[in-house]
């Protein structure tokens, strides 16, 4: 009886040892480390080299009136206009950015800027500027009339 008890204890010990080894292997190799997580977050960020303005858009299906492509950046509170104007002035745009009101939030006018036919370098620089204004977004679309 004593030997049977020793065999059972050895068997339980071996099973627990194997489970511990398997858990360690899973924990070590199956879970993401911080470097992998950081690289995944960076892949979700806007990559200015991948933003391409395709060309001109048409006004509806089969429409014959072409509109120029624009990059919309905003919305900004009207109180930030001097900062945005200074940032856009540093881009040396061929045509000045168009400014449009896009609504109000808490009684403050919201403004969006439209950059007509931007090239890759301008898109990249605006994407870099956008990091200074985290509440804004960048969209491509037809220029407003």
* pTM metric for this prediction: 0.53
Q: Which residue has the higher pLDDT, 16 or 133?
A: 16
The full set of domain ranges for the chain reads 2-43, 51-142
As a whole number, mean pLDDT of residues 76-92 equals 84
Model confidence over 55-70: pLDDT tens digits?
655 555 555 555 678 8
Report residue 135's pLDDT band, with 50, 70 and 90 as the boundaries: confident
Residue 82 has pLDDT above 90, yes or no: no
Residue 119 has pLDDT above 80, yes or no: yes
Are 31 and 102 in contact by the 8 Å Cβ rule? The answer is: no
| d(C-alpha 109, C-alpha 39), whole Å | 37
Position 22 scores a pLDDT of 94
CATH number of 51-142: 3.30.70.120
Model confidence over 93-109: pLDDT tens digits?
888 888 888 888 778 88
């Amino acid at each position: 009886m004593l030997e049977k008890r020793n065999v059972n204890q050895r068997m339980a010990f071996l099973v627990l040892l194997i489970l511990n080894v398997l858990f360690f292997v899973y924990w070590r190799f199956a879970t993401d480390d911080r470097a992998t997580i950081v690289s995944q977050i960076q892949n979700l960020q806007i990559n200015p080299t991948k933003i391409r303005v395709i060309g001109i858009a048409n006004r509806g299906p089969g429409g014959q009136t072409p509109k120029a492509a624009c990059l919309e950046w905003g919305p900004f509170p009207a109180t930030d206009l001097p900062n945005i104007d200074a940032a856009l002035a540093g881009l040396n745009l061929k045509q000045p950015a168009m400014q449009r009101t896009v609504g109000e939030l808490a009684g403050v006018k919201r403004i969006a800027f439209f950059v007509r036919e931007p090239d890759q370098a301008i898109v990249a620089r605006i994407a870099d500027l956008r990091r200074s204004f985290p509440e804004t977004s960048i969209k491509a679309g037809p220029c407003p009339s």
